[in-house]
Amino acid sequence: MKTAKPSPDAPTLHSDTEAHDHAHGHAHSHDGVKGASVESALAMAEAYCRERGEKLTPIRRKVLELLLASGRATKAYSLLDEMRQIHPGSAPPTVYRALDFLLSAGLIHRIESINAFAVCHDLTQCQHGILVVCQRCGNVTELHEPKLRQALVAQIEAAGYRLAGDGIELKGLCAQCQESQANSVDKAAQPGAAAAPEATAQPSSVS
């Protein structure tokens, strides 16, 4: 997975194979993992579920695997479409039950702003950081900034509100989508890019 650039005051980030120290601020961007990395993450999730006295059933495992491979927020109906390619008889309740389990186990996040789901970067050590969600492609970056989160929650409570859940989401446009958007604007501004004006019809002469 790609590690997002930390804030200037943040310490050097650990690699994905090292333990994460949540006492310090850092950020992680979801990029999708392949092959052995997916299997390693699934094995970790299975061990974690066993410790909780629960089971990562084949359906739950497959949904988690699809989210790991995607690396970004994915809507439930997209997961259902993928599941049907593997198991043609898959029904919506099956996928939703699997998602509910993964949520309750803390293995994934529900991205409320785009009604989608994404794997928690730290998987079995979810600390409910601040999520920055690209509203165009669904890429999610987790900001683990405990002091910033505490200050934000304090301000919210001081205003008389209580958070409905642990998640805090910020909407945005990721760097890749910003570049794509800028390129589209540049192409549209190039000479000849605009549609040619319609020719004005000339009235026919009558003898």
User: Which residue in 164, 183, 169 sits closest to 139, CA to CA?
Assistant: 169
Kindly state the average pLDDT of the residues 14-22. 35
CA dihedral (10, 16, 20, 24) in degrees, to 10, reads 10
Using CA atoms, how far apart are residues 73 and 32, in angstroms rounded to an integer?
10
CA distances to 22, 136, 197 from 185, in Å: 40, 16, 20
Average pLDDT value for the chain: 78
Residue 23 and residue 186: Cα distance in Å, rounded?
43
Tokens representing residue 60 in the block: 């739950």
**Percentages of the chain per state (helix, strand, coil), in multiples of 5:** 40, 15, 45
Per-residue model confidence as pLDDT tens digits over 21-50 = 434 455 555 555 545 689 999 999 999 999
Q: Which of 137, 128, 119 has its CA nearest to residue 169?
A: 128
Q: Residue 58 in contact with residue 65, Cβ under 8 Å?
A: no
Q: Which residues contact residue 65 at a Cβ distance below 8 angstroms, ignoring those fewer than 6 apart?
A: 38, 42
CATH number at 26-179: 1.10.10.10
pLDDT tens, 44-85?
999 999 999 999 999 999 999 999 998 889 999 999 999 999
CA dist 29 and 5 (Å) reads: 9
